[in-house]
């Protein structure tokens, strides 16, 4: 069990300088956490090298990006992307002519989730084949890195990978019921999690979200040893999630989105960082706040705990920074709605006794209950309703602040991390905005 260790003070400025390299492992979209790291690396003059997960062609085979796709990816990153497909997971692996998991699930019906079965041994065999494929691709990646990065350069190897929902139609209706269902549509996450399809998800999430960090650390041993031998630092970071400390009823308190079933894999990620750290490798998981990205769109309600960031910014960074942001947020609300009523509404949900009974750090992650799901989804809907345009949301603005701020915090903290797992809560994000390194974020 990982100790709750929030980063309480801003890290010292890291020693990375021009010529040092950020290697981003995972693909960059426009509005994800990794954008913050890339932004800070570039701001301090580091070289940024990107990677790709590749694409599946019409036959289902994994392929590198086409010339057109790579040009697009490099334009988005603003730097070179190494074109070796690093997709993780095993849903599409067919071993010895046995149909892949995705293929086996083609005719599965959502209503049968508790009794769906797989060809014996096929999950284990597919998993082993998926791992072997990724490890082979990471070995090619390392060759490229060895030739592109000078031996004296400091390197931050940043893991951003998360995911693993198997690509079969049967999952979407089920996951929608777990994350967004009320009334007849409600589905208890525990019931699903203990079913054959839930166990498959558990295995797949672990493989994509957690084990990839271990394969990456092991698969870059040669460059790590070469560069550290020349006196440079090679550090690893990964994005975790394990609840966040936010302002509730005027006090910073740990809370979590429920039901975060991916949390089991995120705890495995923490363990991988802790084991690597005890072997003398600088590897840190940074547990980050709930924000809206491509990957979090499924988790309706995850954004509720983002609203009180406004109060944390006021408290930590002061009126000069908070006032213009609050004014921008106010302008996104319908007439008659105010930022204060919005914050009261979020606080009512976050301080509700229903959550108090469920959320517990020591037994995290918790499964949903009907009462909690209905309360959360109603609060999420009410908060959205306060906006005048559903395409211009306060949470989008706050998400941008969070991914930019965490990028800066992670990059600097990775130089000399105080623990193998750290929480980046709303307080330290607020503090950063008042620091020279966070100056132009808001
Ligand atoms: N969004 C949140 O609220 C939140 C909160 C805390 C931590 N995080 C973590 O931040 C990290 C970045 O996520 P994000 O929310 O910015 O979303 P994102 O969609 O921008 O990033 C997801 C990343 O996972 C990679 N990925 C997806 N499927 C993969 C697969 N099969 N194999 C290999 N890589 C795969 C993508 O290429 C991408 O780099 C993730 O680890 C996520 O869990 C997110």
The CA–CA distances, whole Å, from 151 to 156, 186, 223 equal 14, 55, 8
Give the predicted TM-score (pTM) of the model.
0.98
Count the Cβ atoms, other than its own, within 10 Å of residue 341.
12
Q: State in Å: Cα 194 to ligand 1 middle.
A: 24
The rounded Cα 6 to chain-centroid distance in angstroms is 17
Q: Residue 384 class from Cβ within 10 Å (0-12 exposed, 13-18 middle, 19+ buried)?
A: middle
Task: Mention every residue, 6+ apart, whose C-beta is less than 8 A from residue 292.
Answer: 31, 302, 303, 306, 393, 395, 396, 399
Tell whether ligand 1 has an atom less than 6 A from the beta carbon of residue 398.
Answer: no
At 440, is the pLDDT very low, low, confident or very high (cuts 50, 70, 90)?
Answer: confident
pLDDT tens per residue, range 119-157: 999 999 999 999 999 999 999 999 999 999 999 999 999
Whole-number Å distance between alpha carbons of 3 and 420: 10
- The reply to whether 427 falls in a domain is yes
Q: Is 291 in the pocket of ligand 1 (CB under 6 A)?
A: yes
Residue 296 has pLDDT above 90, yes or no: no
Q: Per the domain annotation, does 364 fall within a domain? A: no
Pocket test for ligand 1, best of 25, 29, 32 (most atoms within 8 A of CB): 32
Residue 305 is given by DSSP the state G
What pLDDT shows up at residue 135?
98
Asked whether residue 213 is domain-assigned, the answer is yes
pLDDT at position 374 is: 97
For residue range 48-74, list pLDDT tens digits in order: 999 999 999 999 999 999 999 999 999
* pLDDT score for 30: 84
Position 188 in a domain: yes
Establish if 422 belongs to a structural domain.
yes
- Give the CATH number of the domain where residue 52 resides: 3.40.50.720
Q: How does pLDDT run across 247-274, given as a tens digit for each residue? A: 999 999 999 999 999 999 999 999 999 9
What pLDDT shows up at residue 327? 97
> Of the candidates 352, 243, 254, 252, which has an alpha carbon nearest to the alpha carbon of residue 312?
252
To test the ligand 1 pocket, which listed residue (23, 31, 33, 263) has its Cβ within 8 A of the most ligand atoms? 33
Rounded-to-integer distance, Cα 169 and Cα 101, Å: 12
Q: What is the mean pLDDT of residues 193-216?
A: 98
Span from the CA of 29 to the centroid of ligand 1 (angstroms): 10
Is the Cβ atom of 32 under 6 angstroms away from ligand 1? yes
In a domain, 253, yes or no: yes
Average pLDDT of 360-382? 97
Tell me, in angstroms, the distance from the centre of ligand 1 to residue 163's CA. 7
In the reported structure, the alpha carbon of residue 28 is separated from the centroid of ligand 1 by a whole-number distance in angstroms of 9
Residues 357-363 have a mean pLDDT of: 95
pLDDT average, residue stretch 164-185: 96
Binding site membership of 37 for ligand 1 (Cβ less than 6 Å): no
Residue 339 lies in a domain: no
As a dihedral over the C-alpha atoms of residue 264, residue 265, residue 267, residue 268, rounded to 10 degrees, the angle is 130
Q: Percent of the chain beyond pLDDT 90?
A: 97
pLDDT of residue 161: 98
Q: What is the spatial distance between Cα 312 and Cα 252, in angstroms, rounded to a whole number?
A: 9
Confidence of residue 302 (pLDDT cuts 50, 70, 90): very high
Tell me, what's the pLDDT at 31? 87
Angstrom distances, CA of residue 296 to CA of 29, 177, 344: 13, 16, 24
**pLDDT recorded at residue 43:** 95
**Tally of domains in the chain:** 1
For residue 366, being part of any structural domain is answered with no
pLDDT of residue 439: 83
pLDDT, residue 136, reads 98
Quick one: tokens of 89? Answer: 């997971």
Domain span at residue 232?
21-299+398-438
Q: What is the mean pLDDT of the chain?
A: 97
Per-residue pLDDT at 412: 98
DSSP state of 421: E
What's the angle, vertex CA 310, arms to CA 8 and CA 345, rounded to 5? Answer: 120
Amino acid 212: pLDDT: 98
Q: Whose CA is nearest to atom 43 of ligand 1?
A: 162
Contact 243 CB / ligand 1 (< 6 Å): no
Those residues whose C-beta lies under 8 Å from the C-beta of residue 79, and which sit 6 or more positions away, are 47, 48, 49, 50
Q: Is the pLDDT of residue 294 over 90?
A: no
């Amino acid at each position: 069990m990982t100790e709750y260790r929030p980063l309480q003070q801003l890290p010292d400025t890291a020693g990375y300088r021009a010529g040092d390299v950020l290697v981003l492992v995972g693909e960059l979209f426009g509005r994800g956490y990794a954008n913050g790291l890339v932004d800070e690396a570039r701001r301090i003059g580091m070289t940024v090298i990107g990677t790709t997960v590749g694409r599946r062609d019409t036959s289902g085979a994994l392929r590198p990006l086409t010339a057109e796709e790579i040009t697009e990816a490099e334009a988005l990153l603003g730097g070179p992307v190494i074109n070796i497909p690093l997709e993780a997971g095993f849903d599409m692996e067919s071993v010895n002519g046995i149909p892949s998991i995705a293929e086996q699930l083609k005719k599965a019906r959502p209503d049968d989730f508790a009794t769906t079965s797989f060809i014996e041994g096929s999950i284990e065999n597919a998993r082993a084949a998926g791992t072997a494929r990724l490890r082979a691709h990471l070995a090619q990646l390392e060759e490229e890195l060895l030739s592109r990065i000078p031996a004296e350069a400091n390197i931050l190897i940043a893991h951003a990978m998360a995911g693993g929902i198997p690509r079969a139609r049967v999952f979407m209706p089920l996951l929608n019921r777990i994350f967004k269902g009320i009334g007849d549509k409600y589905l208890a996450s525990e019931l699903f999690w203990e079913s054959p399809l839930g166990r498959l998800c558990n295995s797949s999430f672990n493989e994509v979200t957690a084990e990839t960090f271990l394969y990456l650390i092991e698969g870059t041993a040669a460059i790590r040893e070469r560069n550290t031998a020349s006196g440079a630092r090679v550090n690893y970071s990964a994005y975790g999630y394990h609840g966040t400390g936010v302002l509730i009823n005027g006090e910073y308190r740990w809370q979590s989105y429920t039901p975060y079933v991916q949390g089991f894999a995120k705890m495995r990620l923490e363990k991988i960082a802790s084991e690597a750290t005890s072997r003398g490798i600088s590897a840190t998981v940074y547990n980050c706040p709930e924000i809206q990205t491509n990957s979090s769109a499924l988790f309706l309600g995850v954004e509720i705990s983002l609203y009180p960031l406004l109060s944390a910014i006021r408290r930590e960074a002061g009126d000069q920074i908070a006032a213009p942001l609050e004014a921008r947020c106010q302008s996104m609300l319908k007439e008659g709605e105010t930022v204060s009523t919005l914050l009261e509404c979020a606080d009512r949900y976050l301080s509700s006794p229903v959550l108090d009974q469920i959320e517990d750090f020591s037994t995290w992650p918790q499964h949903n209950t009907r009462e909690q799901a209905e309360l959360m989804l109603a609060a999420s809907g009410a908060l959205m309703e306060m906006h005048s345009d559903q395409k211009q949301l306060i949470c989008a603005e706050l998400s941008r602040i969070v991914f930019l701020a965490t990028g800066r915090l992670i990059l600097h903290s990775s130089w000399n991390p105080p623990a193998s797992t750290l929480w980046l809560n709303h307080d330290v994000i607020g503090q950063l905005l008042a620091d020279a390194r966070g100056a132009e974020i808001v």
